[in-house]
């Protein structure tokens, strides 16, 4: 008999503010009958181990798959698998380049499964997942975890070209069309 349970693969950005909402989404999807595979790395899995253990105890169909994060290949200190573990902003570009290198092991993992996922949900910062989803014929949704207020502010700042008027790195900014305490 053919397995008709929907299977989603979730690919969060390795940053706590992105991973935690994605783990919450995995749990919510699983509670509604979706089998979920959440992609992570060894260091990130260790950091959310209590959450992983809680999900496993609940018997929800959520699998956490750890892919090796290529720190050494990009000159990152060993264990720098999460943005907040980077010792300096100088490592940001290398971190995002390393994230992109996860595409090959992710694609290999998905190809090896007896049935391809029905959907991929990827963090907005993981644009590299687009090619993986396209090559495998998997529909891909983009998850944007920041709050609605953040999105409103970012939109208003861009629309009103606020950054064009900044003269120094310490110039005060005001977000148009948003509440102000002044």
Task: Read off the pLDDT band of 181 (50, 70, 90).
Answer: low
pLDDT given at position 180: 60
- Local structure of residue 77 (DSSP, 8 states): P
pLDDT, tens digit (0-9, with 9 covering 90-100), for 109-136: 999 998 899 999 999 999 999 999 999 9
Boundaries of domain holding 158: 147-167+175-182
Known catalytic residues are 18, 123
- Distance in angstroms (rounded) separating the CA atoms of residues 49 and 35: 20
Instruction: Kindly state whether residues 60 and 105 are assigned to the same domain.
Output: yes
Q: Render the burial of 70-80: b for 16+ CB within 10 Å, e for the rest.
A: bbeebebeeeb
Give the number of domains in the chain.
2
pLDDT, tens digit (0-9, with 9 covering 90-100), for 44-62: 999 999 988 998 899 999 9
What mean pLDDT is predicted for residues 55-73? 94
Q: Would you say the pTM of this structure is higher than 0.85?
A: no
Nearest C-alpha neighbor of 55 from the set 19, 15, 24: 24
What mean pLDDT is predicted for residues 81-95? 92
In this structure, is residue 61 part of a structural domain?
A: yes
């Amino acid at each position: 008999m053919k397995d008709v349970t929907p299977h989603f693969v979730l690919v969060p950005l390795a940053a706590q503010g992105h991973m935690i909402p994605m783990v919450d989404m995995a749990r919510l999807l699983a509670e509604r009958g979706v089998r979920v595979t959440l992609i992570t790395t060894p260091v990130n899995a260790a950091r959310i181990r209590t959450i992983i253990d809680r999900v496993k105890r609940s018997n929800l169909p959520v699998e956490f798959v750890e892919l090796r994060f290529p720190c050494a290949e990009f000159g990152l200190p060993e264990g720098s698998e999460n943005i907040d573990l980077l010792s300096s902003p100088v490592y940001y570009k290398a971190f995002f380049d390393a994230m992109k290198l996860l595409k090959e092991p992710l694609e290999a993992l998905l190809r090896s499964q007896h049935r391809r996922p029905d959907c991929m949900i990827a963090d907005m910062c993981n644009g590299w997942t687009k090619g993986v989803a396209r090559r495998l014929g998997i529909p891909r949704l983009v998850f944007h975890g920041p709050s609605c207020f953040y999105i409103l502010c970012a939109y208003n700042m861009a629309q009103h070209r606020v950054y064009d008027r900044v003269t120094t790195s310490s110039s005060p900014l005001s977000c148009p069309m948003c509440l102000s305490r002044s």
